[in-house]
Amino acid sequence: MHATTHNAAREAAQAEPCLAQHVLQCQDHTESLRTVLRACHAVASLAAGASNPGATVGMDGLGELLHLHSEAMEQRLDAIHTLIETIRTALIRRPERGQAISLTLNASDQLADMRQVQLAWQAVACMVPYAADTLTGENLAAALRLMADAMHGRTAAMDDMLDALHAALTATPVQEGATP
């Protein structure tokens, strides 16, 4: 039984660099998501004038732009989800999970909240072409900015969790009998 525990600990130690690398990849995806959010703010600026005659983009075109940005968000969130689940699955198998498992579960919860914002963005994208007669560009722009800001706040919180998770995964464990 001691050999089994020792083997599990050795496998966990070998997996640490890989898990830490997954966290770094998640951070790359959150940075990419920030780029999408900057573009979302630009779309919100376009939306402000979309209901005006002679606007650069009409409501139909705006709906398509919103769908493209929703898909871009979804791709990044899917990539983050895959990596977080890989980390969570590996940590669950570890005999000593420490703070890393808690941070991973918190990141999963944060990701679920981010997914809700993305779904709201997608719903607005579907609604825009049909609500052109009742929706003003200014109101749409305000709603889009609100959602983009909400996603940005969630992304910042996710980054904090990922920083803490990376630190937990790369921390050198104190050896038994060693003095700190």
Question: Which domain covers residue 130, as residue numbers?
Answer: 16-170
| HSE (side-chain half, CA atoms, 13 Å) at 140 | 33
How far is Cα 176 from Cα 6, in angstroms, rounded to an integer?
Answer: 13
Please state, rounded to an integer, the average pLDDT across all residues of the chain. 86
Instruction: Confirm whether 3 is domain-assigned.
Output: no
Single-letter amino acid, residue 31: E
Number of domains in the chain: 1
pLDDT band at 17; cut points 50, 70, 90: low
Does residue 150 lie in a domain region?
A: yes
Checking if the pLDDT of 13 tops 70, the result is no
Q: How far apart are CA 121 and CA 147, in angstroms?
A: 7
Q: How far apart are CA 140 and CA 46, in angstroms?
A: 10
User: Is residue 123 domain-resident?
Assistant: yes
Whether 107 maps to a domain, the answer reads yes
Q: Does residue 149 sit within a domain?
A: yes
Within 8 A by CB and 6+ apart from 137, the residues are 47, 48, 49, 50, 51, 52, 55
